[in-house]
Structure 1
């Protein structure tokens, strides 16, 4: 998914290179991440930056193009985010969407005001000039709107392309300066020709090529990993999930037997997963794997802790301490002439970085154990070849590398494991309760052929909650189990999966019959946002 000829300038030496990005400037939009995803679907690399970035900061990223996202503000309200007009003098192609469209119009001398007619949801747009953006699209088309203000007059030099009942100027462009904008949300599937509009901007407006492919990602990252690691040895934190497996496969392709994978059995895994890692991954890759039994260590460190952020940080810290122990063992085994272990490979993804507040101004939603949960005294240089990728892009890279499908298509499972699926203190007894309930849910979903219909189905134990029930004609006071089936493309947004009632009924009946500590099974029907996929 990169073009070998488009490495970003200004990146640290020996760090994985990325192509010149299409920058998505986030004005607080619900769909900023979705815009970035749609750009990537067009095989063009994208990154998100906050609206607080100065023009100089944006240009320092050597952007191939810039997209201004939507947002909840009114451009003329006090304190509303604004666009510095200098941005439009930099020679970089720019596209404004919704609020970004209005901010562009205002910055360039157009008129923005309330129309008295808000537009929300599906709205008919009338195309009055196709131009570059709307070429080949119907004269009348449905677009997804979400605004109360509108552009009444386009800036000088712009051609008006479309109107709607609530938007006198619903789209415009200035091809000479390569500036474009639409009032609607082309990134949303409800905009019938939205992806076409985005691709017209990227390919024709900005002159970009759709060359960000799995093969190019592999070539670029293998070269960057070789440059970063050199002749040193490296260990990989192998959880058994998709991300760490693909990261390990990438590093193995780059440096071969310099890599040792370390799986930490922290006691927070699901039933049968440690054995699957030992058997399936090693058999398919031939990688050297060390499994460390650290159950007691993690349970001791987590004793008495209920706060989810504290849990994540403890788990992240203890992971690193275990890898440091493994580092010393490997060095001792190699003897005095062996190379030191300087590097640690992690399967960190772009959503991990964004949610941990690492997206250059992003809010800290929750600290992922491998990002915000890392200790300050980290004694490794990190190798994170997937740090700029979304989950579906990682799967594509994995398939290109030949990672077995049963690993590549595996549903996501968080590094902190069941530790963040127990709401309350983590104990060995509570882990066993959740492990049994989770195994039943997974078994029934697989039996019903639903594994490919859902993104993942976290099973959550509300350990600090009890409810009255009746079992065997007697009163019980047991724990609730929450089923959280979700559908998603990249984990940045998600919706709950509508599972068949008979499957839900079977899961509920089996859990309450077979796990005596549980007397109630509930279904989480919250989308993301507002809820995250994991409860903690």
Structure 2
């Protein structure tokens, strides 16, 4: 996007190859610790070369260690937007404000800068210690934050420009810049033809941005919309609008097949789906069942397995969070997306978008001539509402890290807020690694600024214990907590569908469909009133890439009346709901979806 052709390579690529083929190197983040014996590291000869290097997060730590600095864990983590003070005189930060906001997500810190390196960025942590946010020596520079995450590092573009122009002394390729999207479309269509190799292309279309763009690129021979029983009641509308963009789609009712599905992992069989509570197993089971449906459809078409190939709309965020790296194998599994389970990988599908993030896919879609209402559509996960229902096998519960609940209460003692550590876990992310930790519920005045601060402060202070903070929107006391046995039965699905429908009606009424980038509606097996009831969580977020998201809060990002009206209607109109919450947590530390 800046006009510099680039390649993604393994971290250990020989320095000689890099010197002979590239003008600058960027070393990205990683969940690894550079000070561990088995840490993945660049070729040590790279540091002897005169080639410019920008180390990002782990890349800065590897750089510091290679030059004799020291990297170690700290008592606190940083996960989210942090303001750091930078040296605006340095070429990397030329033209950038001294108080620089960037995305930090790490537990390791450069605690001793290497000899000869200048500290060009630093700030104070919550425990009072000093953190180095940027270091430099000649054409070797490192930053602890993520300039590539432009949603959370607003001046990331400027930093990259400065690195390329001021440090690497490179000028952008204007021809490449202006013809990029046209060339990209031609290249991807050529790759699709090559991989299909005469086979018929079978596509599963969800109506989302990714599958719509992938389908438009590939023009599949056969396209299907799979109703797995956990979708919204909008099948016909999706099929109709896909037809308007030239994709003729057949609906397949596979609800019964998904409901009865099982999966065997390491010799243990799990299922049926409605009884599976572990989010990773749930995603694995759903992904495997999609593959089973694909195999059934190929057989129905009278094709042999080697006469058909599956088209998927897998994007870069899906791939990275599922642990698949383009450049190497040093990527942790955050959550396995249903289209990246082992059974799907074995099919070797066509995935033309797996190197693009959501904003890049939208740009490609506009270049293909797709309409705005398709490209700005809110994503809906392939597994559907199945991953928005948190299960409980009985009404007995144990709160993980109970002592942390006491500490949280003590922290909030002199505030107007009440807090409750909940007996449910949600999936999160920090330092490029997965977490599966407790959520904290808050109640009290609607002081959105302080609530936003607590949503960042609590996961940071109680790292390893919590990764999500939610706020009660109705009057039920947090003290009257009970657990309701919950599975993905039809009654529970209908409850969640009803709440989800209300939220989308309100989004349409307030004209927020395109303003809110996604709004998961989640069902918790928790009652704060009458035993046997459950709770609903609203999760409106904004993002460009979905690698990070910002929780959207009333007054700051959304009309207050939208939130209050949605909560009021759910509490009033949906039977069996005792409490409605608003999720306050950014990503990181919480993922967009709870599971």
- Tell whether the structures are fold-level matches, with TM greater than 0.5: yes
User: What is the distance in 2 between the residues matched to 1:406 and 1:293?
Assistant: 26
Partner of 1:331: 302
Assess if the C-alpha contact under 8 Å between 1:142 and 1:192 holds in 2.
no
Aligned match of 2:320: 354
Which of 372, 375, 383 is equivalent to 2:341?
A: 372
The answer to whether the Cα contact below 8 Å between 1:313 and 1:369 also exists between their aligned partners in 2 is: yes
For 2:529, what is the secondary structure of its paired residue? Answer: strand
Q: Does structure 1 residue 524 correspond to structure 2 residue 583?
A: yes
> Given the alignment of the two structures, is residue 215 of structure 1 paired with residue 191 of structure 2, yes or no?
no
**Residues 125/515 of structure 1: CA separation in 2 closer, same or farther (3 Å cut):** closer
Q: Which residues of 2 match residues 116-515 of structure 1 at below 5 A?
A: 121-126=82-87, 130=91, 133=92, 137=95, 141-143=98-100, 149-151=111-113, 153-154=115-116, 171-172=135-136, 174=138, 179-182=139-142, 185=145, 187=147, 194-203=156-165, 205=168, 207=170, 209=172, 211=176, 213-252=180-219, 259-272=221-234, 274-285=235-246, 287-301=247-261, 302-331=273-302, 341-359=307-325, 360-372=329-341, 374=343, 378=346, 380-424=347-391, 425-462=487-524, 464-469=525-530, 477-499=532-554, 500-515=559-574
In the aligned structure 2, how far is the partner of 1:247 from the partner of 1:465? 40
- Distance in 2 between residues matched to 1:486 and 1:216, nearest whole Å: 32
**Alignment RMSD:** 3.8
CA distance in 1, matches of 2:360, 2:583: 27
Is the Cα contact below 8 Å between 2:388 and 2:521 reproduced in 1?
Answer: yes
Going from structure 1 to structure 2, the CA distance change for 1:42 and 1:495 (only over 3 Å counts) comes to farther
Q: State the alpha-carbon separation in 2 of the partners of residues 504 and 477 from structure 1.
A: 25
In the alignment, structure 2 segments of 5+ residues that lack a partner are: 124-129, 262-272, 392-486
Equivalent pair of 2:32/2:330 in contact (CA under 8 Å): no
* CA shift digits 1:459-499 (9 cap, x unpaired): 0112x333424xxxxxx742111111112221111121113
Scaled by the length of structure 2, the TM-score of the pair is 0.67
Q: How many residues align?
A: 456
Cα offset for 1:220? 0.9
Native 8 Å contact 1:247 1:385 kept in 2: yes
- Aligned partners of 2:515, 2:16: CA distance in 1, in Å? 39
Once residues 445 and 58 of structure 1 are traced to their aligned partners in structure 2, the CA distance between those partners, rounded to angstroms, is: 55
Query: Cα distance, 1:215 vs. partner?
Result: 2.4
**What is the CA–CA distance in structure 1 between the aligned matches of 2:535 and 2:87, rounded to whole Å?**
52
Distance 1:453 1:391 in 2: 15
CA distance in 2, matches of 1:167, 1:304: 46
Q: Is the 8 Å Cα contact of residues 440 and 507 (structure 1) preserved in structure 2?
A: yes
Q: What residue ranges of structure 1 are gaps of 5+ in the alignment?
A: 1-39, 253-257, 333-337, 470-475
Q: Do the aligned partners of residues 216 and 70 (structure 1) sit closer, same or farther apart at CA in structure 2, a change above 3 Å counting? A: same
| Aligned CA distance change for structure 1 residues 228 and 97 (closer, same or farther; 3 Å) | closer
Q: Work out which of the residue numbers 67, 70, 78 in structure 1 matches 2:26.
A: 67
TM normalised by structure 1 equals 0.74
